[in-house]
């Protein structure tokens, strides 16, 4: 059973003084999510959505906003005008104790701390819903990724290579604050864009299946 969802926004002041509101995604957020997608650069769209889409279809938006808080949770960051500037989400797979995690922040709000704030809120929800581990997939073995893995390897099982060529890191979801934990360090590095985490392996399959059936293809 999912923990009760509070959609009351929480205000956060970022390190540059800008203010965002965080809350769980609602079905009524389709326009906001579509607007946030439009603010992504072509490179960011490709990295997050696996193809050079110019817009999200109605079925895409339904999947991304009509979430199941237990198995597919999403948190949105809103700017003072109510526009979506970032989303963090997890998707639980076959293992009920684990979920894949990813975050996307629009280009002009990156490197301010919005991604970290989103992931901290998402981690709270994951812990409430009984998720014990987050799975992060690294797309490229760059120096930042190797340094990250080396720094936390003693506290985790270490990364492993998946059959499709990614490095997979399993991180324990802590009880309470994530600051200073292996998960916290990994999420801050990813949110800052220094490690390219391949987002949403589970969502990718479902979005691609829907995109193949899009009427505008």
Instruction: Check residue 42 and give its pLDDT.
Output: 83
Flag whether 29 is in a domain.
Answer: yes
Flag whether 4 is in a domain.
Answer: no
Output the pTM of the full model: 0.77
Flag whether 146 is in a domain.
Answer: yes
Flag whether 19 is in a domain.
Answer: yes
Instruction: Check residue 161 and give its pLDDT.
Output: 73
pLDDT digits (tens, 9 = 90+) for 165-192: 667 777 788 776 666 676 666 666 665 5
Flag whether 135 is in a domain.
Answer: yes
Q: How many domains does the chain have?
A: 1
User: Which of residues 7 and 116 earns the better pLDDT score?
Assistant: 116
Whichever domain contains 135, its CATH number is 3.40.630.30
Flag whether 23 is in a domain.
Answer: yes
Instruction: Check residue 75 and give its pLDDT.
Output: 96
Flag whether 5 is in a domain.
Answer: no
Average pLDDT of the chain to the nearest whole number: 76
Flag whether 46 is in a domain.
Answer: yes
- Domain residues for 108? 10-212
DSSP string over the chain = -PPPP----EEEE-TTS-EEEEEE--GGGHHHHHHHHHTS-HHHHHHHHSS--SS--HHHHHHHHS--TTTEEEEEEE-TTS-EEEEEEEEE-SSTTEEEEEEEE-GGGTTTTHHHHHHHHHHHHHHHTT--EEEEEESS--HHHHHHHHHHGGGS---EE-TTS-EEEEEE--SS--TTSHHHHHHHHHHTTSS-B---HHHHHHHHHHHHT-TT-
pLDDT digits (tens, 9 = 90+) for 34-88: 999 888 888 777 666 545 677 888 888 888 898 887 888 999 999 999 999 999 8
pLDDT digits (tens, 9 = 90+) for 80-90: 999 999 998 88
């Amino acid at each position: 059973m999912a923990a009760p969802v509070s959609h009351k926004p929480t205000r956060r002041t970022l390190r540059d003084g800008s203010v965002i509101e965080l809350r769980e995604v609602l079905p009524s957020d389709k326009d906001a999510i579509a607007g946030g997608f439009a603010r992504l650069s072509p490179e960011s769209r490709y990295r997050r959505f696996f193809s050079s889409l110019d817009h999200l279809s109605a079925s895409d938006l339904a999947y991304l906003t009509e979430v199941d808080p237990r198995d597919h949770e999403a948190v949105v960051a809103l700017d003072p005008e109510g526009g979506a500037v970032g989303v963090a989400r997890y998707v639980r797979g076959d293992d009920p104790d684990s979920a894949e995690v990813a975050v996307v922040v629009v280009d002009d709000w990156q490197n301010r701390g919005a991604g970290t704030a989103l992931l901290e809120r998402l981690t709270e929800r994951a812990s409430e819903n009984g998720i014990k581990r987050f799975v992060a997939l690294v797309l490229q073995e760059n120096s930042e990724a190797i340094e990250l893995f080396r720094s936390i390897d003693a506290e985790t099982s270490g990364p492993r290579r998946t059959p499709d060529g990614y490095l997979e890191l399993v991180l324990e979801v802590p009880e309470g604050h994530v600051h200073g934990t292996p998960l916290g360090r990994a999420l801050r590095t990813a949110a800052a864009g220094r490690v390219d985490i391949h987002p949403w392996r589970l969502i990718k399959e479902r979005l691609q299946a829907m995109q193949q059936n899009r009427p505008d293809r």
